[in-house]
Amino acid sequence: MTIAEVQNEIIDEFSMFDDWEERYQYMIDLGKTLPLIDDKYKTDDHIIKGCQSKVWVHADMEDDKVSFTADSDAIITKGIIAILIRVFSGQHPNEIIEANTDFIDKIGLKEHLSPTRANGLVSMIKQLKMYAIAYQTQLN
């Protein structure tokens, strides 16, 4: 699936819920399905700066596709990073770099987060794209 297709799938899933209480619960459930990061990557080198809670992310590239693993010490944050990883993992680095993240506004996520969590969300996207830039550089 392309990044846009995954994003549309997420938009459809979130539209099934009537209120934000249900959407938060869905995000928490998504966090439980997160491909967990190996404990050896739970270091300061892998922490996303700018997040209120701790979020660790690790990336690998195989067959020109980037795969991400992550974890967080906060359940909502874990759900947020799970959504982002679902969108970006398994994609070509250049597609990640070029990807639009409008879907976040379309599901109403940013407006339902505290300012510090919203900043953390931006930091998570930036970090995932930085990994993609590093891998794209290797491919060039």
Active-site annotation, residues: 51
Which residue has 């998504």 as its token pair? 30
> What are the φ and ψ backbone dihedral angles of 115, each rounded to 5 degrees?
-55, -40
Q: Which two tokens stand for residue 49?
A: 């700066």
For the beta carbon of residue 132, count every other beta carbon within 10 angstroms.
Answer: 24
Q: At what angle do helices 20-32 and 75-88 cross, to 10 degrees?
A: 70
Structure-block tokens of residue 41: 């990557």
